[in-house]
Structure 1
């Protein structure tokens, strides 16, 4: 049996990261099928909870497009760069007429694969971090090969950040691109 190629291992670690964050935040997370993947959706996070007294929705979902990379991002003006291959993926993520809302989550892994995952009796740790961005309302692109996305450094994809996203969605607030 062959081992996964490194790029597939990166992808699997991004799923593990997403599931861990969602579980710790108390939310269910499921992987999408290949049909949903063609729509730019890798996973779906579901919630059945009243987040705040201002919540309008108590059952809702969030679509997630996952990416993982060993490329070191450039940081400028508090944002991290990531090149999203394929303008069609970009267009699917920026579409304002879809529900549930969609976000892009990018896991930046160390360049050395030996550092991606650390396991001891005390902990299991995926090294580095993921950030998220909503591309809803982002501008058109003429580039067909892809688009450089800028992820706000303050939008760390962790359990607190996910709860903040879901609180906004529970109040029917749009997650708009702030690039």
Structure 2
């Protein structure tokens, strides 16, 4: 197989790690779904990026990761779960999840020792992660699948439910930054309650406005749990 000339315009961004799974064993390498050239080792990917002058270059330590990368959508799912689980651990909440996700609930958190009507309140979250630029007018305009929308809205549920959307950089390598004194997870997560959201006649999805003022933090999780203890939703 002959090689195709590589230029900056040839390589489409974002660089899709999932398409590098065939980079070993003499298969065609794909960048953003376009066959570019024949490679036998993932190290040649690094050389390719150097040749076209891209700054978002994988380090030598990431070459094995490039050749064995997880599908990007699955990475987003796992990354947000870890992000939210870290906040919950910091808030002192117990975490649980169901083996089957058929009710738009990805994770459940439970507290203990609260002084409201319920001493061991619970909250449930539907998790979404995106690198798309969806911010407009101080809100995230998130296209939520219709099933998720219907499952999250309404007050006829025992446990308060919330939608949590994590905004991540387009480049997977920028999701986690390692510093001398800390590890930083990028970027931020935001939440909204659809408890009083109206019914929608849309067939596939409903655009949900998530205020940028509603960041999902340790304190936000604690406030949600306090509200649940009092028998209400935020």
Shorter-normalised TM-score: what interval?
Answer: 0.7 to 0.9
Q: 2:117 & 2:155 partners in 1: Cα distance?
A: 20
Q: 1:70 & 1:174 partners in 2: Cα distance?
A: 28
1:47 to 100, 103, 111: 111
Q: 2:210 & 2:94 partners in 1: Cα distance?
A: 24
TM-score by length of structure 2 reads 0.68
| Structure 2 residue matching 1:63: 3-state secondary structure | strand
1:73 to 129, 134, 150: 134
1:25 to 91, 94, 100: 91
TM-score by length of structure 1 reads 0.88
Matching residue of 1:3: 69
Given that 2:168 and 2:175 are in contact with CA atoms closer than 8 Å, whether structure 1 keeps it comes out as yes
The correspondence of residues 1-179 of structure 1 with structure 2, limited to 5 A, is: 2-34=68-100, 37-50=101-114, 55-76=116-137, 78-85=138-145, 87-175=146-234
Query: Shift of residue 31 of structure 1?
Result: 2.9
Count of residues in Structure 1 that have an aligned counterpart in Structure 2: 168
Higher RCO (C-alpha under 8 Å, 6+ residues apart): 1
- Measured against aligned partners, the alpha-carbon deviations of 1:17-61 in whole angstroms (never above 9, x if no partner) come to 110000001111123322xx110100000111225xxx2211121
Q: How big is the alpha-carbon RMSD for the aligned residues of Structure 1 and Structure 2?
A: 1.6
Structure with bigger strand share is 1
Matching residue of 2:36: none
